[in-house]
Chains A and B, each alone.
Chain A
Amino acid sequence: GIQVEQSPPDLILQEGANSTLRCNFSDSVNNLQWFHQNPWGQLINLFYIPSGTKQNGRLSATTVATERYSLLYISSSQTTDSGVYFCAVGYNTDKLIFGTGTRLQVFP
């Protein structure tokens, strides 16, 4: 099956800094989603982005399907951005495979 690797596993930032999170996958995908899990455990869908670039406020994501990676950019980070970011992928299926996540801590 498809393997998903996320990097870095942990990231510590000061408020206002920018960051880039990476998701590498081992095979073709046509379904890729980014999620944020807040410190209370709630999982929020950030982007559905099997290819191309999308932006939502301070967050943007780019997926280069031919090179099998996706990037999540967080600009001007805030303490509320803290939590774990997951990438999930699939191909011609609704069974998503999740990476193990990047844990982000933003300090004031």
Chain B
Amino acid sequence: DAGITQSPRHKVTETGTPVTLRCHQTENHRYMYWYRQDPGHGLRLIHYSYGVKDTDKGEVSDGYSVSRSKTEDFLLTLESATSSQTSVYFCAIGQGAGNTIYFGEGSWLTVV
């Protein structure tokens, strides 16, 4: 299994509060991704990173920011959580286009 750790695994937070999810990898993969999974939508890309301090937006980036200060860590921040951001968040890593990607175990976030 790819060495990917997501934290926290489960979180309940209140509307309007900031939340940060962390993805940590031990594989030294260049690319890291954050997806969200919702019923009826499959997985949708929020943001991704193609290197330290290099990030780009995905399909559903509004309301989210990311940072990557080290190869092994990719942080996803909800500046002011809303109920529509209740979801399961998956981190993934890969070597870039033409390569398989590997997922972490997911973080369940509930915004009340």
Give A residues with C-beta under 8 Å from B: 1, 30-31, 33, 35, 41-45, 48, 86, 88, 90, 92-101
Contact = CB atoms under 8 A, between A and B. Distances in A.
B90 A92 contact: no
B42 A96 contact: no
7 contacts: A30-B98, A31-B97, A42-B103, A45-B102, A94-B96, A97-B59, A98-B35
Nearest to B102: A45
A48 B40 contact: no
B43 A98 contact: yes
B99 A48 contact: yes
Interface of B: 31, 33, 35, 40-45, 48, 50, 58-59, 88, 90, 94, 96-103, 105-106
A98 B40 CA distance: 11
A86 B97 contact: no
B48 A95 contact: yes
Given A33-B101, A48-B99, A94 B31 contact: yes
A43 B93 CA distance: 12
Nearest to B88: A41
B31 A42 contact: no
Contact of A98 (B44, B48, B88, B102): B44
A43 B100 contact: no
Contacts of B96: 94
